[in-house]
Amino acid sequence: MNIEELREYCLSLKGVTEDFPFDAETLVFKVAGKMFCLTNLEGPFTVNLKNEPEKNMELREEFSEIKPGYHMSKLHWNTLEMTGRLSDDFVKTLIDESYDLVVMKLNHKEQQKLKNY
């Protein structure tokens, strides 16, 4: 997966927007204004994704390309080193899990807006 494929996939999810809230090199994908995916446009290609703490620990133990979230809560975020060793389908699954986790924590009104999107 490359940066354009990542962008296309994230934007295909309901209600997703993209933004550069931190700097011109950090692309952030949000749902209802909440971050679920970050990536860098400069340097090595990495992706930060959210997940449950227990799942994050399991992923880090199983895959050397998955590290504690860089500049993020190490408990809730992982950084994926996009070296080509993680399959596109696996990365998409992790993106979906991050997105779903954020959506689950939205209030009822925001969740309903997404269902009608």
Residue 115, pLDDT score? 85
Domain annotation covers residue 73: yes
Domain annotation covers residue 89: yes
Total structural domains within the chain: 1
Domain annotation covers residue 80: yes
Would you call 1 exposed, middle or buried from its count of C-beta atoms within 10 A (0-12, 13-18, 19+)? buried
**pTM (global) more than 0.85:** yes
Residue 87 predicted with pLDDT over 90: yes
Domain annotation covers residue 117: no
Domain annotation covers residue 116: no
Please give the residue range of the domain that contains residue 75: 3-111
CATH number of the domain to which 23 belongs? 3.90.1150.30
Domain annotation covers residue 29: yes
Kindly give the residue spans of alpha helices, DSSP state H, lying in 1-117. Answer: 3-12, 53-62, 88-104, 108-115
Q: Per-residue pLDDT tens for 44-82?
A: 999 999 999 999 999 999 999 999 998 889 999 999 999
Residue 116, pLDDT score? 82
